[in-house]
Amino acid sequence: MSDNAVNVTILDRDYQVSCPPEERDSLLHSARFLDEKMREIKSSGNVIGLERIAVMAALNITHELLQEGAVKGSNQAQLQRLTDKITKALGGQSQLQL
């Protein structure tokens, strides 16, 4: 992995993500936010399994963005790219690239 690799921990699992240095802080903030959302879902006891928790977190976050009207035009393409990355990550890959 390149020198731009950042280690993040989400729901007690470590992931190595490649991103430009100027996006590092944003990536870390996003990872903490996702970790919090996934922990909320896990603690509810209604959803079992890492993959299901991740999908529910993604759905909840997307729903919040849509409710706020934040997803428009080019943001929809960005949302699709993020969805694709989540799908790849859940497919067993431990390395993502932003």
- pTM listed for this prediction: 0.67
Phi, psi at residue 40, to the nearest 5°? -60, -45
Check if the beta carbon of residue 56 is closer than 8 Å to that of residue 47: yes
pLDDT tens per residue across span 46-91: 888 888 999 899 988 888 887 776 556 556 777 777 777 777 766 6
Per the rule left: phi > 0, alpha: psi between -120 and 50, beta: everything else, 39 is alpha
Going from the N-terminus, what domains does the chain have, and what CATH number goes with each? 5-97 (3.30.160.880)
Task: Please tell me whether residue 82 adopts helix, strand or coil conformation.
Answer: helix
Check if the beta carbon of residue 18 is closer than 8 Å to that of residue 85: no
CA distance 11 to 37: 10
Q: For residue 2, what pLDDT is reported?
A: 54
22 pLDDT tier (thresholds 50, 70, 90):
very high
The average confidence (pLDDT) of the chain is: 81
